[in-house]
Amino acid sequence: MVLGERVLGERVLGERVLGERVLMGKKSNKAERNDESRRTLVGTIGSAARAEVDERGAVSPIDNAWSLDWWIGGDDRWHVPARESSVRQSAVESAPVLETLVHVPNGNIIQRVYGVSGAAGLIVVDIQNRSPGAVVIAFTIKGSVSKPVRSVSLDGTTLVIDGTPALVLPFAPSRWFVSSAGELPAIDAVVEGLAKTGPFPSSEDSNGLEVVIMYPLAHAARMRIALALGEEWPDAVALAELPSADDAARGWLALLDRATRVVLPDQRLMDRVMLSRSQVLLNADGGPVEVAALEDWGFDSEAEYAWHGLRLMDRRKARRRPIATEVAASIETPEGAFLVVPSWPSAPSEFLVALRQGLVCDTEDGVALLSVFPSEWYGQPVEVHAAPTRHGLVSFALRWHGSRPALLWEVTGAAEGLVVTAPGLDSQWSSRELSGDALLSEPVNPPISQ
């Protein structure tokens, strides 16, 4: 790609992708926002095998109606993450590697879910026992009301659901339970000690099945299973030899590091940027806002691929961006020129588009740096590296000399005469230099706490 050339062509300035929703999330459906916040995509680039992990560690393949949940049998009782108050979840290295921690007596059980590359399309579920006693891990598989699980069988160490390979297991389960619709719920059967031993049976029921498979997990031990979501049968998968969660996280960090990079004062916001970029990459076949986010953050090949999958109307939406003055006007600024960070949109793609426009935004005759500036960032350094615009790649660094902001910038691939501004910091400053540094005026309305 020629430096400075945009995948989606020149921006239609003064128009919005989805109106206020992109900048503020004000018009987003509340239920949709909540759903976005509860689920995280896992998978790998180049594979259609992807799954969602909810905030309690339940895993749902994107293109399947069944879901995988988990329970923990301890010395005291059964711990069901979906019902426990002690569940904590985080993203390892802010990558799509989800770690869910459940407290049990005197320790924790840690689950990690992540994708690994390969034709089998594996999503690994890795569980480690960090408690002093042995536990039992129960995996539950069930369908939805509209698409129940109608058949289940075991082929070697592969659990087959409705004739399709679904789970790769380390070995046949030590105990199991299969219930049909209308029968005793699986969780009640397990709690009451009704789980069965012996060979796992093939079962069918057109009204739906719920399946539980159980494995012992000793102190300090770990085990893995994997969702098989690829197009090929998962033959001879050595679960123990698959990449670790840390390996997967490092791979994602290397991938994300090749695109636009930012350094922000708020670590939580940095973590969100990292995770949101991976979420948009995993949802690259989404809508126009996903395409816009990919392009804005320098994932040109992925943006180009996704662009070809859009309808004509969606392509028009993806081309649009607000100009810098609209960015500032459309975001709540109760402290004058400063932005309150919690007002960012919740959906990953909308958040990335809004943040990028606040950091680097096309104007009628150039680029605006920091069109909005959060009060929380006052006195703190900010960096942006290789942000693509219709004029070229923009990089800048913000430093402070006392109460005055010092700006260093560079625009590569741009024509002479480009106007660089920083309206969120100093509305009177501008430069026609493609690179340079400047000491800006002290902000008019600095935070009182400073």
pLDDT digits (tens, 9 = 90+) for 53-101: 999 999 999 977 799 999 999 999 999 999 999 999 999 999 999 999 9
- Under the banding of pLDDT at 50, 70 and 90, the label for residue 305 is low
The pLDDT score that the predictor gives to residue 33 is: 35
Two tokens, residue 414: 């741009």
pLDDT tens digits along 258-271: 999 999 999 999 99
With bands split at pLDDT 50, 70 and 90, how would you rate the model's confidence at 345? confident
pLDDT of amino acid 81: 97
How far apart are the C-alpha atoms of 151 and 158, rounded to whole Å? Answer: 14
Within 177-311, residue ranges assigned H as helices are: 186-191, 245-256, 267-282, 288-296, 300-308
For 182-230, write each residue's pLDDT tens digit: 888 888 999 999 999 999 999 999 999 999 999 999 999 999 999 999 8
- pLDDT (0 to 100) of residue 414: 84
> Quick one: which of 276, 80, 311, 317 has its CA closest to 188?
80
| Region 138-144 average pLDDT | 95
pLDDT band at residue 241 using 50, 70 and 90 as cut-offs: very high
Q: What is the per-residue pLDDT for 23?
A: 35
Task: Look at residue 28 and tell me whether its pLDDT is greater than 60.
Answer: no
Strand order in 88-91's β-sheet? 88-91, 98-104, 107-116, 122-130, 222-228, 164-168, 158-161, 151-155, 203-204
Among the listed ranges 299-303, 308-312, 366-370, which one has the minimum average pLDDT value? Answer: 308-312
- As a whole number, mean pLDDT of residues 348-367 equals 94
Q: Beta strand pairing status for 98-104 and 88-91? A: antiparallel
Work out the average pLDDT over 348-365.
94
Helix 288-296, helix 312-319: angle, nearest 10: 40
Please give the average per-residue pLDDT across 379-385, as a whole number: 97
Backbone angles phi and psi of 197, in degrees to 5: -115, 175
Q: Is the dihedral of CA 305, 308, 309, 315 positive or negative?
A: positive
State whether residue 237 is helix, strand or coil.
coil
Check whether 11 has a pLDDT greater than 50.
Answer: no
